[in-house]
Amino acid sequence: MDGGYYFGIGGENENNYPQNLYLKSSNITLLENVNYLLEKSTDSSAYGGGGGVSDVNNYNTSYTSENFTGELTITKLDVQEYIVSGTFEMDLPDPFTGDTIKIRKGRFDTLFIP
């Protein structure tokens, strides 16, 4: 997209809340062993979010921001084998109550499509 670098990964668990989490970056180059602040989504930032269902007709999401931040670290980025691994943590506002949801010791290991 427009010659920039974009990253996105998500996960889902129907039995827990939040039911899905995601990490994204817009227009920044990700490097191994660099800590990226997860904050408000802008043209050149990394951010996180999550969401869930409170009832059949009510799906809400929330995002990191100036007040709810986190951190993403890419621990492995192998562009020959298309492997990306990392760790993350973040705080999100509960989209239904406004309480703080604390996500700690998150990690991912996956293949990516170039």
Question: Along the 114 residues of the chain, how does pLDDT read in single tens digits?
Answer: 455 667 888 887 776 666 888 999 989 888 999 999 999 998 889 999 988 877 667 778 899 999 999 999 999 999 999 999 999 999 999 888 889 999 999 999 999 887
What type of residue sits at position 114? P
Residues in the chain: 114
Q: How far is CA 78 from CA 71, 75, 83, 113, in A?
A: 21, 10, 5, 12
CA distances from 81 to 44, 84, 109, 113, 114 (A): 26, 9, 13, 10, 10
Residue ranges of the domains in the chain?
A: 6-111
